[in-house]
Structure 1
Amino acid sequence: MTSITDKNIIDGFANEMNEMHNKQQKAYADIIEASAELSQSHRYFVTSALDAGLKKRDNDEMLLDILEAFKKDLPHKNALLKEKQHAIAEMASDIDQKEIQKLAIIQKIEKLKEDQTRRKELIESQCKVNKDRLKNLQKARIVFQENLGMDILTIRCIAQDVNGEQLQFVFRNINPTDMNSTYVITMGIKEDRVYQIVSSDPALECLPDLERRLPETNNLSAFLANVRKQFIS
């Protein structure tokens, strides 16, 4: 059995103890280094979390400020909205009124067109009647001129209520002492197509009665014959 006082054994044991010590020192150093890295990482994480928290707090405070400002401004915005709604309602009412006025104007225009058409038809009808009467007067003119010495003259209208031109019936061969002396009656046609006696020379007292009966008979030849008789008498 080898004695423990053997130098080789002592040196081997010492070397093993040194090696074990070095390993422990290295393990401690690794643990310290890992702890330092973990502590640094923890500090970085805490710093990042703190920065994020502070940033979120600032954002939350800004959002709260915006929310408070919006709450304060909300009544004003609601008032503006009501004003705009009222203005829109007034505009819609104004548009409706204008549409009603437009329809009324269109109806008036249509009525005016209808009235104009009726007036045109009435004027054309009156012109036709007047032309027919003038034709009859021309025929009567020949008869009266040849048999009774009467002339028919066309003159410009003077009376405002007489339509178109006037006619003058000039009678001769009435006064036995002067067969060329003239007796004149002037007539026209009113807008309602009724004969109107404008004047007579000499004046006849019975002329209004003759004028009243003329529309009843509508016989101009008989009327002129009666006028001639009155001039003779």
Structure 2
Amino acid sequence: MTSITDPNMSDRFTSAMEEIHNKQLKTYGEITDATTELCQSHRQFVKSALDTCLKKCTDDEMLFETIQTFKRDLEQKNASLKEKQHAISDMISEIQQKEMQKDDIIQKIDKLKEEQAKRKELIESQNKANKDRLRNLQKARLVFQDHLGMEIRTILGKTQLVKGEKLQFVFRHINRSVQDSAFVVTMGIKEDGSYQIVSSDPALECLPVLESRLQETNNLPAFLANVRKEFIALARC
């Protein structure tokens, strides 16, 4: 063991302490360098993280704006869709109303066709009845005009009662004392084709009865014969 009295002991101790101090300084320097490197690395990491966060915030803001834009577009499209749905609903309602009007028009047309067919039948029936009456008039003309001196005249009435074309049957040879004396009955045809007795001159009280009988029998020659008989009876009074 080295003696403490060794004169080199102090130098060696000093040298050892310096060596230890240098090692510690070196270790401290390494620690300082490591710390500095770690600080710089941390700063870079923090800066990178901050940049990443800022970029993320910017991207999020852009994404939010895009979402808001899409949301507004969606609301506009929904509003437009609702308007189109209302328009389609109104159009469907209008089409249904037109279909109902179409059905109503078809029904009216069918009804008009039926009424027209009925009118046609009525007109044909009236024409047939008029033809029958014309034949009766011709028969009456042959019987009365040719053999009994009866005259048939066509006249136009001047009053609402006898408005339109009428026939006058003028009887002569009624009054034996005055052969040419005229006894007149005026008649026409109603819209339904029936006979209408307008008047007689001189007036016959039984004319309504004779008219009613004519409506029942539709026998004009018999009616004229009865009228002639009534005129003869009236002239004898």
* TM-score, normalisation: structure 1: 0.67
How far did residue 74 of structure 1 move? 4.3
Confirm or deny: 8 A CA contact 1:170 1:185 kept in the other structure: yes
**How far, CA to CA, are the matches of 2:160 and 2:120 in structure 1?**
20
> Residue 206 of structure 1 aligns with which residue?
206
Aligned to 2:172: 172
1:82 aligns to 2:75 (yes or no)? no
Provide the C-alpha distance between the structure 1 equivalents of 2:162 and 2:192, rounded to a whole number of angstroms.
9
Check if 1:215 corresponds to 2:192: no
- Distance in 2 separating the partners of 1:187 and 1:166: 6
Alignment-derived partner of residue 101 in structure 1: 101
Question: What are structure 1's unaligned runs of at least 5 residues?
Answer: 1-49
2:155 maps to which residue? 155
Greater relative contact order structure (CA < 8 Å, 6+ sep): 2
Say if 1:183 and 1:202, in contact at 8 Å, map to a contact too. Answer: yes
Q: Does 1:120 align with 2:117?
A: no
Deviation, 1:202, is 1.2
Q: What residue is the counterpart of 1:229 in the other structure? A: 229
Deviation, structure 1 residue 81: 2.8
Tell me: CA distance 1:157–1:120, structure 2 relative to 1, closer, same or farther (3 Å).
farther
Paired residues in the alignment total 183
CA distance, structure 1, for counterparts of residue 73 and residue 196 of structure 2: 85
Aligned to 1:197: 197
Aligned-partner Cα distance in 2 for 1:192–1:120: 13
Local SS of the residue matching 1:191: coil
Assess, with a 3 A threshold, how the Cα gap between structure 1 residues 114 and 159 changes in structure 2: closer, same or farther.
Answer: farther
- CA 1:230–1:124 in 2, change beyond 3 Å: closer, same or farther? same
Aligned-pair CA distance for 1:225: 1.4
Query: 1:153 is paired with a residue of what secondary structure?
Result: strand
Check whether the contact 1:164–1:189 (CA below 8 A) recurs between aligned residues.
Answer: no
Secondary structure of the residue aligned to 1:147 is helix
Deviations 1:123-160 (A, max 9, x none): 12212221221122112211112332211222346676
Distance 1:157 1:217 in 2: 26
> What amino acid sits opposite 1:142 in the alignment?
L
Identity %: 66
Q: Name structure 2 gaps, 5 residues minimum.
A: 1-50
Cα drift, residue 86 of structure 1: 2.1
Cα displacement (A) at 1:169: 0.7
- For 1:197, the aligned partner's letter is I
Q: Compared with structure 1, are the counterparts of its residues 88 and 69 closer, same or farther at alpha carbon in structure 2 (3 Å cutoff)?
A: same
Shift of the alpha carbon at 1:187?
0.9
CA distance in 2: counterparts of 1:103 and 1:229, whole angstroms: 62
Deviates more, 1:108-117 or 1:94-103: 108-117
**Equivalence for 1:142:** 142
Deviation for aligned residue 1:57 = 7.2
Asked if structure 2 preserves the Cα contact closer than 8 Å seen for 1:144 and 1:150, the reply is: yes
- Inter-partner Cα distance in structure 1 for 2:213 and 2:194: 11
Supply the distance in 2 between the matched residues of 1:163 and 1:139 (Cα, whole angstroms): 26
Q: CA deviation at 1:69?
A: 3.0
Q: Which stretch shows the higher mean deviation, 207-216 or 74-83?
A: 74-83
Paired residues of 2:172 and 2:183 also in contact (CA < 8 A) = yes
